[in-house]
Amino acid sequence: MTTECSFPAERQISAWASTIGPGWAALLERLHHDLLALDAEYRIEAFTVKFGGLRITVADRFTGGEFDGEFADRATALTDAAETASERTCETCGARGRIRLRGDGNLAWMSASCEQCRTLTPPGPVALRVLGERGIAVAGSPRT
C-alpha cells in the first residue's frame, strides 16, 4: 500500500513491519489503514514489542498551533485496540494465541503464540548473552 505524504515513510507503520513476526502483519496493515483515514501524514513516535505484545505511540498532531486532542484520542483508541489484539494473536502464524512465558530459566521472555507455535523459536531479533568468565557470546532468544 502506498500513500503520498510529506513525512518519510519510515515514520509510519510500514517501516516497522519487518521487526515483528508475520502473524502480526495483518494487525499492522489494518492499523496503518485506520491511521491513514485519520491523517495521511500521521507519524509513529514509538514502536516496540514489550511483555509479549505491541506497544505503539502515535506522535501528537497540532493544527494551527493548537494540540489536536480529538486526533490524539482517536489514534490512541486505534493503537490500544491493535496492542490488545497482538496479545491474543500468534506473532508467528496469526492464529488465536495468548501471552506465554518462554525461555530456559537463564533467559526468559514473554511472547504471543498459539498452541502449535509455542515451542518454535519466535521470529524477530535475537539477543546475545555472555556466559562464563571468558565472556563467550552465545546466541540467546529474542527480545528484551
The answer to whether the beta carbons of residues 44 and 58 sit under 8 Å apart is: yes
Look up the pTM and report it.
Answer: 0.73
The answer to whether the beta carbons of residues 71 and 39 sit under 8 Å apart is: yes
Q: How far apart are CA 124 and CA 26, in angstroms?
A: 16
pLDDT score at 77: 97
State pLDDT tens for residues 91-144.
999 999 999 987 777 788 889 999 998 877 655 443 434 343 433 333 333 433
